[in-house]
Amino acid sequence: MPRLINSRAYNILRLVPANSFRLVKEVLSLRQKIVSTRQKLQFLQRCLKHKIIPNFIRTKHLHELCRLPERNTQVFNVELRLLRISLRSEQDHMFRMLHKCVAKEHNCSRLLNNDLWQKIVEESKSICSSIRSTTKAQLQRKFEHLMRKTQNI
């Protein structure tokens, strides 16, 4: 069952007929996940641009696995490759979600009356905007923390 990030989405679902409930819930969930994933992609792109290794890669302790010093260029290059791979994987995931969402939105627009569907879309945009700003702020703080940490080393 799809999970909704923002509870305001449940207020929208009260308006939806029972035969379309699950489909609309999936669309709302996908839209929210896409917004969140886009922000993650921008974070990863910024990390790559500034050659900063995020914690999910840094904590793997690749230098121990390779039996090399922690600040070795070979280890750093492997970490950068992992970052590029993570970025590509996240992009692929987002595009799969987008494709799914477009198909489900098309079905919703066919099944629901136009006024209801427009109301759902508008409220979803508002919710997604809120999620976008929250996620962006969190990832911005995270990036700034990584920048400070990298500069102190």
Tens digit of each residue's pLDDT (9 = 90 or more) over 1-12: 456 665 677 788
Three-state SS for 52-98 is: CCCHHHHCCCHHHHHCCCCCCHHHHHHHHHHHHHHHHHHHHHHHHHH
What pLDDT score does 151 carry? 81
Q: Which helix (H) or strand (E) holds 17?
A: none
d(CA 98, CA 89): 14
What pLDDT score does 5 carry? 62
What pLDDT score does 73 carry? 84
What pLDDT score does 1 carry? 42
**pLDDT for 72-119, tens place per residue?**
788 889 899 999 999 999 999 999 999 999 999 999 999 999 999 999
